[in-house]
Amino acid sequence: MTRTMESRRMDGMTTLEQDLVHLARMALAGRSQDVQMLLQRMARRYSRSNEAIGEALQALLRDAPSADAPLRGLGNAAPVPLDMDSRVPLIRPDHLAPSITPVLSGSVREAVDQICDEHLGRDRLLKAGLSPSASALFVGPPGVGKTLVARWIASRLKLPLLVLDLSSVMSSYLGRTGGNIRKVLDYAKASPSILLLDELDTVAKRRDDGAEVGELKRLVTVLLQEIDDWPASSLLLAATNHGDLLDPAVWRRFEMVIDFPLPDAVQLRKALEQYSERDAPDDVLTVIARALALQGASYSEAHRVVTSARRRAALAEQPLKETLLSACGEQLRQLPFAERVRLAVDLVQSDHMSQRRVHELSGISRDTIRDRLRRQESQE
């Protein structure tokens, strides 16, 4: 086979000179991801033979400069992008630091810790020719802590959190919505940051959904292209309450997918302690947590119960435990009678509460509790 003129020109070049030619070709073609991968290989290769070049390339990768983000590492001085029609900001900085540590299941905490460890240990990854995860998808019902975890990650990584306002991105002129999304993501790429795409299913619906118009389907393609080009020096987070609505290709683009389940009674109990600032009787919180868990409640619903009790306590100038007792009764009354009886018996058996205290909290008579206990003992 006849050799190409370019391959003949490469003869006689050193490895470094050949890498520079490949790098220039990729840069001119706008292939930013390929450029970053080649630089990673070069940094790893030359760190052994030319320490100065290796360290310089690692520094560049750490700050991840690109044609799309010339201000990376220098701070984002660009104005916040606006929708051309409404002049409403398309993105908003979220400066709310988490006031509590999120209560998470073991699998969620492990995944979140891995994301933080990768970004905090970026230098070690770069030396090994690797880069930290650039994107993660949070999937779960409302109120399970997806936004709180995004704030927690931003706090741990000391990066600004930017939140995409999907209601403003969806322009009245559908043809402009794709441009709005690009403007938002380009702005977020301009300096190290965390971008949260909340309610991702609003714009990333399945492309085989016959109810959607062609323009909305094209938005999915725009979004996929932007996710593919996301720099590893920043973090792209997306959250959805309806994972079944997402286009399958969207799932594959995210490096990590984290499922947020509804909390169990133990997790709700820990959350209630934080919400009440540990100013409530343990047994009352235990009963509320168990009742909420039986109802399939989320953290936001547990927070609502405690906040309402604290407001009533402040207005009536009562101790919080009094209004929480009332809240406890309200939660229990939402359970079917059979569920309340089972809960009352279980509290006596497992939490070492007296029958009198369980009766006060649950409203189930002590005679009923004793009768159920005798039945269980006879069956054993």
Higher pLDDT, 266 or 82: 266
The average pLDDT across 32-48 equals 71
Distance CA 280, CA 257 (A): 36
Q: Are 127 and 58 in contact (CB under 8 A)?
A: yes
pLDDT at residue 48 greater than cutoff 90: no
Q: Chain-wide mean pLDDT for the chain?
A: 79
**How far separated are the first and last CA of the chain, in Å rounded?**
85
Higher pLDDT, 323 or 100: 323
Using alpha carbons, select from 111, 371, 377 the residue that is nearest to residue 260: 111
pLDDT at residue 70 greater than cutoff 50: no
Q: What is the reported pLDDT for 67?
A: 38
- Three-state SS sequence of 117-142: HHHHCHHHHHHCCCCCCCEEEEECCC
Q: Are 126 and 286 in contact (CB under 8 A)?
A: no
- In degrees and rounded to multiples of 5, residue 89 shows phi and psi of -60, 135
Provide CB contacts within 8 A for 288, sequence distance 6+.
268, 272, 302, 305, 324, 327, 328, 331
Tens-digit pLDDT profile for residues 119-137:
999 889 988 888 899 999 9
The average pLDDT across 19-28 equals 77
Of 212-221, 244-253, 282-291, which gets the smallest average pLDDT?
212-221
Using alpha carbons, select from 157, 72, 143 the residue that is nearest to residue 114: 157
- Three-state SS sequence of 247-298: CHHHHHHCCEEEECCCCCHHHHHHHHHHHCCCCCCHHHHHHHHHHHHHCCCC
Higher pLDDT, 314 or 3: 314
Using alpha carbons, select from 122, 154, 121, 158 the residue that is nearest to residue 136: 154
Q: What is the CATH number of domain 91-259?
A: 3.40.50.300
Torsion sign (Cα): 18, 22, 25, 28: negative
Query: What b/e readout covers 175-188, taking b as 16+ CB neighbours within 10 angstroms?
Result: ebbbbbbbbbbebb
The residues pairing with 136 across neighbouring beta strands, listed in sequence order, are: 237, 256
| Residue 114: HSE in the Cβ half-sphere, 13 Å Cα cutoff | 15
The average pLDDT across 351-380 equals 80
Q: Are 39 and 23 in contact (CB under 8 A)?
A: yes
Provide CB contacts within 8 A for 51, sequence distance 6+.
none
Using alpha carbons, select from 261, 283, 282, 2 the residue that is nearest to residue 143: 261
| Domain boundaries, given as residue ranges, for the chain | 14-63, 91-259, 265-379
Q: What is the reported pLDDT for 83?
A: 64
pLDDT at residue 73 greater than cutoff 50: no
pLDDT above 70 covers a percentage of the chain that reads 79
Q: What is the reported pLDDT for 340?
A: 85
The two structure tokens encoding residue 62? 């750490």
